[in-house]
Structure 1
Amino acid sequence: MAAYPEMLHTVIDTTDPRRLAEFYRQLLGYSYREGDEPRASGDADDDDWMVLVDSNGMRKLAFQRVDELTRTTWPSAEVPMQLHVDFTVPDTDELERHRARAEELGATMLFDRTDDPDEPLYVVTDPAGHPFCLFVG
């Protein structure tokens, strides 16, 4: 039986890897991979690539510096989403709590479909403009 590749993590391009990693670290409760933690000196020389891990030390998200990044214009089609991540919460109270937390951390609201009784959701962008969905699942 042939072995299949296994996903290591998802890499997100950004012009500011530290800022975006910190957004997702706080939003999702992840930690920095050893060696990727912010340095007291504020030296950003090594901030071109960093990884977040879950509570078991499994890699979840990585952040890669790019010189330029065009934000999505979704729902308009000029610049498509290209990729987005879905996050679920157990109920509408948690949906509202996590939407508010995301916005406090720098997210921007794109779409509110909380009036849908079958699948209430928000589409927001992270500080770099990558869209993600928060919904009751």
Structure 2
Amino acid sequence: MSRFPQLLQTVIDAEDVRGLAEFYRQLLGYTYRPGDEPRADDEAEWLVLRDEAGTNRLAFQYAEHVEPTTWPSADVPMQMHLDCTVTGRGELERHRARAESLGARMLVDDSDDSDEPLYVFADPAGHPFCIFVAS
């Protein structure tokens, strides 16, 4: 028995569940939980991605409407975001290009910050996420 509940995964709402799951699968190198792989008749309403160790990391659930954040404007708050780290500036630039090629849209470019270079992106559904050099 554990003294505290254990975090299983982070769940992200999406109008296009498969599309958003596929974006993060490619961005982070995760794999689908067995049974969640793409199918010809794909109308997925819930999908799970796992890391190399088989641990659930992200899940995606269908939502009829997702209001993309307007951050940094406060009109529609950020509500949540994912932080992803890389080991150096070269990796930061490589993953910036990868994220954009997968459909991410840059919101903030702080890549010249000497303490913590970073980019803030919006995924294809408008959810923000960061890629930064971990210090």
TM-score by length of 1: 0.95
Secondary structure, aligned partner of 2:132: strand
Indicate the residue corresponding to 1:44 in structure 2. 42
Secondary structure, aligned partner of 2:94: helix
Indicate the residue corresponding to 2:88 in structure 1. 91
Post-superposition Cα deviations, 1:90-134, rounded to whole Å, max 9, x if no partner, equal 000000000110000010000001111011100001110000110
Map 1:48-63 → 2, pairs under 5 A: 48-63=45-60
Q: Is 2:117 the partner of 1:120?
A: yes
Question: 1:3 Cα shift?
Answer: 1.5
Question: 1:55 Cα shift?
Answer: 1.0
TM-score by length of 2: 0.96
TM-align CA RMSD: 1.1
Post-superposition Cα deviations, 1:14-54, rounded to whole Å, max 9, x if no partner, equal 10010000000000000000000001x2x123x00000001
Map 1:1-137 → 2, pairs under 5 A: 3-39=3-39, 41=40, 43-45=41-43, 47-137=44-134
Q: Runs in 1 of length 4+ with deviation above 2 angstroms?
A: none
Change (3 A) 1:91 1:25: same
Change (3 A) 1:35 1:10: same
Secondary structure, aligned partner of 2:97: helix
Question: What is the letter of the counterpart of residue 24 of structure 1?
Answer: Y
Question: 1:2 Cα shift?
Answer: 5.9
**Aligned pair count?**
134
Question: What is the letter of the counterpart of residue 29 of structure 2?
Answer: G
Question: What is the letter of the counterpart of residue 21 of structure 1?
Answer: A
Q: State how far apart, in whole Å, the 1-side matches of 2:101 and 2:92 are.
A: 14
Q: State how far apart, in whole Å, the 2-side matches of 1:73 and 1:30 are.
A: 28
Instruction: State, as a whole percentage, how many aligned pairs show the same letter.
Output: 63
